[in-house]
Amino acid sequence: MRKPFIMGNWKMFKTTKEAVAFAEEFKKLYQSSDVVAGVCAPFTQLAALKDAFKGTDIKVGAQNMHFEENGAFTGEISADMLNELGIEYCVIGHSERRQYFNETDETVNKKLHTAFKHNIIPILCVGEVLEERDAGKEFDVVKTQTVGALKDLIAEQVSALIIAYEPVWAIGTGRTASPEQANEMCGYIRTVIEELYSDEVSEKVIIQYGGSVKPANASELMNMEEIDGALVGGASLVPADFIEIVNF
């Protein structure tokens, strides 16, 4: 039985002071449940959040990491640096990283290998842009991204993976894929995993939906058969909104 996994993605928002204030408020609202919950925050906030959430089961994740162990990569963060802070999760291949920072399926694959090597659980993002969906290419695009990202990963690694289906046309636009559309694609991704590995592996993979998830639509999305949780953007910045989603 896959436990629902709901992770906030704060993107480039909040100072460390604001992050700690969020944590203190969220802890008052949060009750440990059958849902795994946490936030992926900017690098500068990670240590403070780990400290603020100490004694709870609220998770803290990063939003990116480099695939090299170290080197002359100004501005980048390594897996060892995340390990030192006790970071358990890392978003990899978010559409904004692909769009603005030239992430490719190849670099995403390298990052997945590095994350697993350092016992960091990747949250792999896949999803199509509006033009691809309108052209009827959404399944081909998502399959290509998934297959490329998982190249040379072993079944044990993929079983521990979290995949976030994020239709790019629904991120930050206020437009959300219908529950049926989201469920269909999450189910399709599971089928791709089954084809690449096995039914056993595909049944273990957590597949989230991300794309303008809000308190108003969270329950309907989360109760779809193939959706195992959410990667939440703007609504995760406000404790009262985020707890509503966690408590769907």
Which residues are the active-site residues? 94, 166
**Is the separation of the CB atoms in 39 and 10 below 8 Å?**
yes
For residue 102, the one-letter residue type is N
Q: Residue 89's closest CA among 7, 208, 209, 145?
A: 7
Closest alpha carbon to 223 in 179, 164, 191: 179
Phi, psi (deg, nearest 5) at residue 110: -60, -40
Q: Which residues contact 132 (CB under 8 A, 6 or more apart)?
A: 138, 141
Task: Write out the DSSP string of 161-197.
Answer: -EEEE--GGGSSSS----HHHHHHHHHHHHHHHHHHS
The position carrying tokens 């995993």 is 193
User: In angstroms, rounded to a whole number, what is the distance separating the alpha carbons of residues 127 and 98?
Assistant: 11
CA 76, 100, 143, 130: dihedral to nearest 10 degrees?
Answer: 160
Integer Cα distance of 40 and 45 in angstroms:
10
